Amino acid sequence: MKKLNIIVLMLIVLVFAFGCEKNGMEIPDECAHLRVEDGWVPVWCDEFDGDELNEEKWTSLNTSWGGGNNEAQYYHPDNIEVKDGMLVITAKKENYGGKNYTSGRIHTQYKGDWLYGKIVVRAKLPGGRGTWPAIWMLPTMNKYGTWPKSGEIDIIEYVGYDKDRLHGTIHTEKFNHMLGTQLGTSLEYPGITTTFIDYSVIWSPGEITLYVDDFELTKFRYTPEFNQDVKPHQAWPFDQEFHLLINLAIGGNWGGVRGIDPDIFPVSMYVDYVRVYQRDYSSLDKMKPEAISEIKTGNLLKNMIYWKKPNNDLDIEYYEIFLNGEFYDTTRLNAYVFERLKTGTEYQVEIVAVDFTGKKSAATAYTLHYQ
């Protein structure tokens, strides 16, 4: 019986390994202790078990630049420590590089860049008037131009003067704080500065959901019906690789609204771990996507069409667009704006939905009258 159990266990391991390999989702050795749950496979992690920052995963900033927010600190690598199984970012009241404070900021750009997935950061945030810790994401290559055109995902922000209130936000060309149109929400959540909390994001095509522990903070979703005034990427540029940033800012346009309390320093932000997961669709998605329906013409932007996403599929990775029977383009959103075609001409359009396992729907036809 014992031998039989061992054989069964080996078969299960082999099946799982094959599934992950097939989807290019091998689990790194340093993440092997993490469980695979609901098809989420760990692909990148840092448990901060060493005695210094892992420079194969992170870059630490050395700059007086205030992040475009008039922040009061100088970011210096010396303010970053790894000890007792944690990342520690400490802000100090000291003069350096023309600033009155020093602190730390790290990022994973070119070392950890992802398109879609789940990211979990377990952290204890600092309090005190003038502190502004953040866990957030920026595009790696700025596909659509500089900020805010290529987007920003603020998984969590906290300003020390607003005790027990967390903020989650996204910024795009259409929706950003410079215009006063940013999309976000806030939540009163006790224990921010006294306990470790899981801050996470689940990101899929056309949708971003933020969580505080297991509580859904907010969900952002691209809705073409309400964004007919702009090209899809101007409202939703989240179809490109992003990287992770963790920092402790001091002062600035938001964190310093009520000044900086000089008596709180030094003050630290603690991070227990960072874990990145991607979905093993090959083990979850067994259905072929149904054909898309209800292709409509946009009312505000010329030559824009949009459609409903298939309801029967776990997730659609992208759509193939054919023009007069020939392949034309792809899009990750359920909307598209045609450009540089011949004005006054009628085109036969076909759209095919493709899921993350490569299964394709039947084509849906539409007649475009190009203006």
Q: Does residue 1 belong to any structural domain of this protein?
A: no
Mean pLDDT of 119-123: 99
* Residues 92 and 225 both lie in one domain: yes
The residues annotated as belonging to the active site are 152, 157
Verify that 311 and 333 share a domain, yes or no. Answer: yes
What are the C-alpha distances in Å from 327 to residues 132, 296, 321, 348, 350? 48, 20, 6, 12, 9
Domain that holds residue 313: 285-369
Please say whether the beta carbons of 183 and 174 come within 8 A: no
Look at residue 9 and tell me if it is in a domain: no
Asked if the structure places residue 229 within a domain, the reply is yes
Does the pLDDT value for residue 23 go beyond 50?
Answer: no
Choose one of 279, 302, 318: the last residue of a domain: 279
pLDDT digits (tens, 9 = 90+) for 324-345: 999 999 999 999 999 999 999 9
Number of domains in the chain: 2
Distance (Å, rounded) from C-alpha 195 to C-alpha 362? Answer: 51
Q: pLDDT at position 227, please?
A: 97
Alpha-carbon span 15 to 13, nearest angstrom: 6
Which of 223, 246, 279 is the last residue in one of the domains? 279
In this prediction, residues 264-268 reach a mean pLDDT of 99
**Is residue 183 domain-resident?**
yes
Q: How far apart are CA 159 and CA 157, in angstroms?
A: 7
d(CA 254, CA 248): 13
Q: Is there a single domain that holds both residue 234 and residue 121?
A: yes
Is the pLDDT score of 18 beyond 60?
A: no
Q: What is the CATH number of the domain that holds 256?
A: 2.60.120.200
**pLDDT of 208 higher than 80:** yes
Pair 165, 245 in one domain: yes
Strands 40-46 and 267-279: antiparallel
273 and 290 co-located in one domain: no
Give pTM, 2 decimals. Answer: 0.92
The dihedral formed by the CA atoms of 218, 223, 226 and 231, expressed in degrees to the nearest 10: 120
What pLDDT sits at residue 49? Answer: 97
Which is higher by pLDDT, 66 or 280? 280
Per-residue pLDDT averaged across 71-78, rounded? 98
- Residues forming beta bridges with residue 199, ordered by sequence position: 121, 212
The CA angle 271-274-107, to the nearest 5 degrees, is: 85
Considering the domain boundaries, does residue 20 fall inside one? no
Domain for residue 11, yes or no?
no
What residues have CB less than 8 Å from 286, skipping those under 6 apart? Answer: none
pLDDT > 90 in the chain, percent: 90
Q: Which residues of 155-168 are buried (b: 16+ CB within 10 A; e: fewer)?
A: bbbbbbbbeeebbb
Q: Which of 279, 310, 332 is the last residue of a domain?
A: 279
- Under the phi-then-psi rule, with left for phi > 0, alpha for psi from -120 to 50, and beta for the rest, what region is 67? left
Q: Residue 220: phi, psi to the nearest 5?
A: -110, 135
d(CA 205, CA 356): 11
Residues 109 and 178 in one domain: yes
Q: How far is CA 316 from the centre of its chain?
A: 18
Closest CA relative to residue 162, chosen from 252, 248, 258, 91: 258
Give the closest residue to 296 by CA, choosing from 249, 228, 344.
Answer: 228
144/235 same-domain check: yes
Residues 10-37: what's their mean pLDDT? Answer: 65
Q: What local confidence, expressed as pLDDT, does residue 24 receive?
A: 53
Same domain, residue pair 224 and 145: yes
Q: Are residues 269 and 301 in the same domain?
A: no
Q: What is the pLDDT of residues 129-138, one digit of tens each?
A: 999 999 999 9
Residue 365's CATH number: 2.60.40.10
- 30-73 pLDDT, tens digit per residue, is 999 999 999 999 999 999 999 999 999 999 999 999 888 999 99
Both tokens of 175, joined, read 């929706």
pLDDT value of position 3: 39
What token pair was written down for 276?
A: 């990145």
Q: Rounded CA gap, 224 and 232, in Å?
A: 8
Residues 96 and 227 in one domain: yes
Same domain, 239 and 290: no
Average pLDDT, the chain: 93
- Residue 315 is assigned to a structural domain of this protein: yes
- Residue 8 is assigned to a structural domain of this protein: no
Same structural domain for residues 167 and 141? yes
